[in-house]
Amino acid sequence: MKDGVECYEKLLQQGAKRLKGQERRLFMAEVTLKLCQGKARQAERRFGWGRETVAKGLHELQQGVRCLENFSARGRPRLEAKTPQLAEDIRAIVEPHTQADPELKSTRRYSNLSAGDVLEALQTQKGHARENLPSERTMRDILNRMNYRLKRIRKGKPLKKTPQTNAIFANVQAVKAEVKGADTLEISMDTKAKVNEGDYARGGKNPDRRGR
């Protein structure tokens, strides 16, 4: 008989684990009313449920109202939220080395400082002890949460120019000066347009016009 009772108790425990939120609390409350005389402490000893959760479920079941969950407040607080001074020091270090999104599509800011550079500056410039600072990987996560993205800043984009460019244009100008006369007509043509002309114009097919 005892084995049968323990089997049923395990089933009830497993059933509670499969539920979430209010449904789980109401299930615990109903079991507590039927098997534990409505006592949260007895349900805690028998099923291993938290008595505060059971008490909240009993209150919801009796009053017919739902208590709102605050899941965001659970867990360990983030380091930058727990130590506001650290967050201020990080901004003071990173801000002079940042720029806004060039396309203004987001509020994210780009910085050319690495997480290791920020950790070193926190020690040398702000006087933080190394043992009180996070690891380099955690610092990267903190910078991302603070809306900084680590990216090398390039102030100007170099023009793409081949070494033969000047020689090509000099040759064009020389030929133009040689043939140009008083009665010479000039024709302007866009040489960047694709023209299917010559031996290499295959029209999207093989040179022998056969399929593979």
SS percent in the chain: helix, strand, coil, step 5: 55, 5, 45
Position 211 confidence tier, pLDDT thresholds 50, 70, 90? very low
pLDDT tens string 132-185: 899 999 999 999 888 888 765 555 555 566 777 788 888 888 888 777 777 777
> Would you state the structure tokens that stand for residue 74, as one six-digit string?
């659970």
Beta strands in the chain (DSSP E): 98-100, 109-111, 148-150
For the question of whether the overall pTM of this predicted structure is more than 0.75, the answer is: no
Where residue 113 falls (left for φ over 0; alpha for ψ -120 to 50; beta otherwise) is beta
pLDDT tens string 31-48: 999 999 999 999 999 989
Q: Which amino acid, 34? A: K
Comparing CA positions, the residue from 158, 157, 150 lying closest to residue 97 is 150
pLDDT tens string 5-29: 778 888 888 888 888 888 889 999 9
What pLDDT score was predicted for residue 212? 45
What is the phi/psi pair of residue 93, to 5°? Answer: -80, -40
Q: Which amino acid, 86? A: L
What pLDDT score was predicted for residue 121? 92
Comparing CA positions, the residue from 129, 122, 50, 57 lying closest to residue 93 is 122
